[in-house]
Structure 1
Amino acid sequence: MVSTLDQIMVAIAIPTIQSDFNAGALSSWIPTVYFLASTSVQPLYGRFSDIFGRRAMICFALTVLLIGDFGSGFAKSIEELIAFRAVAGLGGGGILTLAQTVMSDVVSLRERGKYQSIIGVVMLLGYGFSPPIAGVLVQRATWRWCFWLNLPIIVVAFVLTSLYAPTKRVSEGLKSQLRSIDYLGSILSLLGSVSLTLSLIWGGTMFSWTSPVVLSLLPVGVIFLVLFLVWEWYGPAIPIVPVRIFRSATLVGVCIVMFISGFVGQSSTYYLAQYFQIAIGFSPTRSSLFALPSLLGDTLANVLSGFIVTRFGRYKALIYVALMIWAVAQGILTLVTASTPNVVAVLAVLVFLTGWGGGQMLQPTVIAAQASVDQEDMSVVTAVHNYASQLGGTIALAAGSSAVNNGFHAALASLNLKSTAVASIIANPALLSPGSSARSSFLEQLGITSIEADHAIASGYGRLFIINAACSAFAAIVGLLVIQDIDLGPRGADRAGDFGSDLAGQEKSGDEQGRVVPKSRREVGSTEVVGGDVDRRATE
């Protein structure tokens, strides 16, 4: 919940932060740098939890998040705030991956959807409660409380994790643990992720796509990632990401779907909050109430999909239907403006559908990824699953800002406004908001009508919703053609992860350096081909 609160409350506060610091387009870096940092470290958390233990890595992630939120609350400039958001991202990026990995340690694959729904519901509570709380704090107090409020919750989470989180038997001695780290792979992964993500973020926003900065960063990022994969294939004894896992077509399909899911989900989370305030004219408190229908749809779909997977052992149809629901909801949003009849009811339904689509995908995609690999790769594939989502989300925030600003620019330019007026509106689009008290006088100075202003705002956000709808439809096609249902085994089968066996007191073998050596495929279970992929069933 702490990572969810951290992200969503900031999304509500961004318009106010933008205004206080007069940050303009630079404010898009507040969420972007968080996801840049969290995405870059995502592949490391899975393998590091195998080396140092789940509990130790969760406590580490919470500590780093605490430092980042503390500094963000006391930031004196937009640059300071962006820097501390990067620190927070380094910690927040590992929390979900580690929680899902712990669940895979102790719960069988067939039953995992049902129990992972608990994690999903807790996350969704954060999604539901944080917008109203953030709206009240921003309107009644200060946006800084959006960071400070999370601090005691992080402390409580740290204490509970230290006391009750299950432990995993790890290699003995710090020296042995440090020898197990794939240092070169870690460096190549970080350099590749940062370079590639920065090039995609900066392209079309801070720099043109043909600028030397983008044209150098993009191939550098690709080269580093290729070198990372080559090294992971031939080099380390315990690779961060074993390349063999990508032999599964289902896993490749899940990664594509999750990349697009992260793109659509994060752009919706951040820009819908701004859309309600700027395009529709709602106050921060009123706009935050639209999190409730999203929470309702998300929660119902999350729980229902988990039980469906447990009951029927199938997930492919759930993923496909969820993506189609997203495509329809995002497409209809392009038609909504402040003057739409019954706009509150229309938006409530569309937000409910958006929440339903996201909730219905959460459990099936995790289970599809975990079912496509051996037990020894469970923590790694969970990190890869979330890495794809985080990468899509990171790109979405900057790409969304570019789409909205370009949409504003095109619509305002068609009204023959001066370039200075266009620049001021793009830097602070709230000037055209129907909820702005100075709107009438400002429109009179510009010489445009309220209908033209509403159209300009709708054009900016509408461009983003069109992109989201198209991406969702494409992901649905990928899910239909590439992802295959893998037999999850009978209900109640004991197929917890290798480290779950440690919890039951069973011993695990180690090599001469004392490092953890996962069980072989033969020890994990028999295999069976179902729908083109390999199925693993636990041997009793």
Structure 2
Amino acid sequence: MTNEKTNVTLVIVGLLLGMLISALDQTIMATAMPTVVQELGGLSLYSWIFSIYMLTSTASMPIYGKLADLYGRKKLYIAGMTLFMLGSVLCSLAGGMMELIVFRGLQGLGAGALMPLAVTIIGDLVPLEKRGRMQGMFAGVMTLASVIGPAIGGMFVEYLSWQWVFYINLPIGLAAILILIPALKETKNHGKPSIDWLGALTMCGSVVAILLALVLGGGESGLGSGQHNSWSSPQVAGLFLLGAVLLALFLWIETKAKEPIIPLPLFRNRIISVTSIVAFLMSAGMFGAVTYIPLYVQGVIGVSPLLAGYILTPLMLAVAAAVTLGGRLMDRFAYRTFNVLGMVLMGLGFSLFATMDADTTKLQVIVYMIVTGFGIGLIIPTLNTSVIGAIGRERRGTATSLVQFFRSIGGTIGVSVLGALMTGRMASGTAGLGERFASLPADQLDKFTDPQALLDPAVRTLLPADLLAELQNVLTHAVDGVFLAGTVIAAIGLVAALLMGNARMIQPAAPPAASATADAKRT
């Protein structure tokens, strides 16, 4: 018994290290990206660094979940961690923006295994009544990442180089693998599983096509051509059409497959279907906040990369505090209570962000982040706990990966659509700047009338005061549009949360009379 408890403890430690990598990746990358863009160029490619990572991790999540149900969680988790570390090494060696984007995609393929399989393994090991408390451990990891991530990211780009944001993944990931290999025990599957490769191929193709259309639509092509694609352009329309055809083909295949990647009957369970919608919308809003707040404070307020990294700490601390509180109270209230309250607070926070301008203080931004983060944190612990309690062990990997899939695809679509919105608003805002400031030297005109100039402290000091104010207004207008869209997303999420029903982690005991009646009916 002692050895069994020791192994469970070691497994949890190893999985928490994997979660730490995932959380650090978000906080470090978000704070380092303005400096990366400054060094490698291409502000129009800003959202691609996040989008490609989430695109590949999203597409691979259901596949990892299904294969884990068939072949075991351990093999797939370690394979994913290994691929994630390989991608990290290649990202650190990237010599240009396009190389970094490609290697971030490879890194995302490995990341698709980390969070969903960790949740599944913990669901296998930890009894239902203790899963709420496990959220406290998750919150501890998020708190640690929120405290050290921005600091590490800011210090790396200020005192070392941006490549170090990827080097940090290697020792943590290696430690997780070395812990899990001996500690995680699984019974071998001696059957001959049937793998739905055709379903996996059409699903990945559909996700990639639709997300590429969302990334490219209304903004630059992202391929260095400088061309702009409208939503009705042949490239974007063709990608949407291809995605729709592959999606329809995937749904048909899933009705015929022996072991479908995503068993469609799962969506008949209201907990799974509503939780998937809430996860999608919560993540779409959350990643918008995490991605664009550092850009705003560094470009508009004019803080250093180090302080821009710290500016996210209140948001992450608020998320962690709310996750801890929600995990401890989850056995007392229905899941709907947390989801509704979370969406209300998230929407309030986004509406406050949408009021920001060049005169907004750092203290105001911090208050807005605390409100938003607390709303997000109330929702997070309900997502996995509700699904794990609603499904049997044989499909637990598939179901939890499905929710993580919708959470990830929500973040991917959120960053992509909000990025296209921001790029479009910046383009319209800078349209007349060249004519208005034509007196500038020809070799400075393009450089000084690009909002990217706000991210370079050396260039920023050379800007005329009136041009600096104009660029700040352009970037503010663009980012405010992102948060107005986030407010709408939270409002839709509130409607979805109301449909959750009265499901809860631990059902209240039935009164004696009701129990007797139920026993009589069963008899």
**With structure 1 as the length reference, what TM-score do the two structures score?**
0.83
**RMSD, matched Cα:** 2.4
The 10-residue stretch of structure 1 (454-463 or 318-327) with the greater mean CA deviation from structure 2: 454-463
Q: Which amino acid aligns with 1:369?
A: V
Would you say the 8 A contact 2:146–2:317 is kept in 1? no
Match of 1:26 in 2: 45
Deviation at 1:439, TM superposition (A): 3.3
> 1:288-299 residue pairs with structure 2 within 5 A?
288-299=309-320
Deviation at 1:484, TM superposition (A): 1.5
Mapped pair 1:222 → 2:244: yes
Match of 2:122 in 1: 103
> 1:55-204 residue pairs with structure 2 within 5 A?
55-165=74-184, 167-172=185-190, 179-204=193-218
Match of 2:519 in 1: none
- Counterpart CA distance in 1 for 2:404 and 2:306 is 31
> 1:225-264 residue pairs with structure 2 within 5 A?
225-236=247-258, 238-264=259-285
Would you say the 8 A contact 1:103–1:116 is kept in 2? no
- Counterpart CA distance in 2 for 1:423 and 1:361 is 44
Change (3 A) 1:452 1:81: closer
Change (3 A) 1:43 1:423: farther
Q: SS at 1:171's partner residue?
A: coil
Q: Which amino acid aligns with 1:163?
A: P
> 1:483-494 residue pairs with structure 2 within 5 A?
483-489=500-506
Q: SS at 1:373's partner residue?
A: coil
Match of 1:460 in 2: 478
Would you say the 8 A contact 1:199–1:214 is kept in 2? yes
User: Which of residues 250, 270, 289 is equivalent to 2:291?
Assistant: 270
For each residue in 1:449-496, what CA deviation from the matched residue of structure 2 results, as whole angstroms up to 9, or x when unmatched? 55444322211111101111111111112111x21222544599xxxx
Deviation at 1:321, TM superposition (A): 0.7
Match of 2:376 in 1: 358
For each residue in 1:231-261, what CA deviation from the matched residue of structure 2 results, as whole angstroms up to 9, or x when unmatched? 222221x222111011123322222221111
- Counterpart CA distance in 2 for 1:191 and 1:452 is 42
Deviation at 1:355, TM superposition (A): 1.7
Would you say the 8 A contact 2:274–2:497 is kept in 1? yes
Q: SS at 1:76's partner residue?
A: coil
Would you say the 8 A contact 1:72–1:147 is kept in 2? yes
For each residue in 1:308-362, what CA deviation from the matched residue of structure 2 results, as whole angstroms up to 9, or x when unmatched? 112x15211111111111111111112223423xx12211111112221221111
- Counterpart CA distance in 1 for 2:168 and 2:436 is 42
Deviation at 1:437, TM superposition (A): 4.7
Deviation at 1:20, TM superposition (A): 1.3
**With structure 2 as the length reference, what TM-score do the two structures score?**
0.86
Change (3 A) 1:452 1:217: closer
Q: SS at 1:484's partner residue?
A: coil
- Counterpart CA distance in 2 for 1:326 and 1:414 is 35
Q: Which amino acid aligns with 1:271?
A: Y
Change (3 A) 1:335 1:264: same
Identity %: 26
Change (3 A) 1:396 1:24: same
Deviation at 1:225, TM superposition (A): 2.1
For each residue in 1:99-143, what CA deviation from the matched residue of structure 2 results, as whole angstroms up to 9, or x when unmatched? 110121122334322213322431342233211110011011110
Q: Which amino acid aligns with 1:384?
A: L
Change (3 A) 1:303 1:74: same
Mapped pair 1:337 → 2:357: yes
Match of 1:212 in 2: 234
User: Which of residues 391, 416, 425 is equivalent to 2:409?
Assistant: 391
> 1:268-347 residue pairs with structure 2 within 5 A?
268-310=289-331, 312-340=332-360, 343-347=361-365
For each residue in 1:509-528, what CA deviation from the matched residue of structure 2 results, as whole angstroms up to 9, or x when unmatched? xxxxxxxxxxxxxxxxxxx9
Would you say the 8 A contact 1:189–1:228 is kept in 2? yes
Would you say the 8 A contact 2:80–2:114 is kept in 1? yes
Match of 2:68 in 1: 49
Q: Mark the runs of 5 or more structure 2 residues left unpaired by the alignment.
A: 1-19, 222-228, 510-514, 516-523
Change (3 A) 1:282 1:491: farther
Deviation at 1:301, TM superposition (A): 0.3
Deviation at 1:82, TM superposition (A): 1.2
> 1:1-12 residue pairs with structure 2 within 5 A?
1-12=20-31
Deviation at 1:60, TM superposition (A): 0.5
> 1:401-416 residue pairs with structure 2 within 5 A?
401-413=419-431
Would you say the 8 A contact 2:335–2:504 is kept in 1? no
Deviation at 1:212, TM superposition (A): 1.5
The 10-residue stretch of structure 1 (409-418 or 112-121) with the greater mean CA deviation from structure 2: 409-418
For each residue in 1:259-309, what CA deviation from the matched residue of structure 2 results, as whole angstroms up to 9, or x when unmatched? 111211111111111111112111111122223322321111001101111
Change (3 A) 1:117 1:185: farther
Q: Which amino acid aligns with 1:347?
A: V
Would you say the 8 A contact 2:217–2:420 is kept in 1? no
Deviation at 1:54, TM superposition (A): 1.2
Deviation at 1:424, TM superposition (A): 4.6
Q: SS at 1:266's partner residue?
A: helix
Deviation at 1:423, TM superposition (A): 6.5
Q: SS at 1:19's partner residue?
A: helix
Would you say the 8 A contact 1:409–1:422 is kept in 2? no
Would you say the 8 A contact 1:73–1:147 is kept in 2? yes
- Counterpart CA distance in 2 for 1:422 and 1:60 is 50
Would you say the 8 A contact 2:135–2:323 is kept in 1? no
Change (3 A) 1:308 1:76: same
Deviation at 1:386, TM superposition (A): 0.8
Match of 1:523 in 2: none
Q: Mark the runs of 5 or more structure 1 residues left unpaired by the alignment.
A: 493-527, 529-540
- Counterpart CA distance in 2 for 1:372 and 1:117 is 21
Mapped pair 1:476 → 2:494: yes
Change (3 A) 1:273 1:169: same
| Paired positions, count | 478
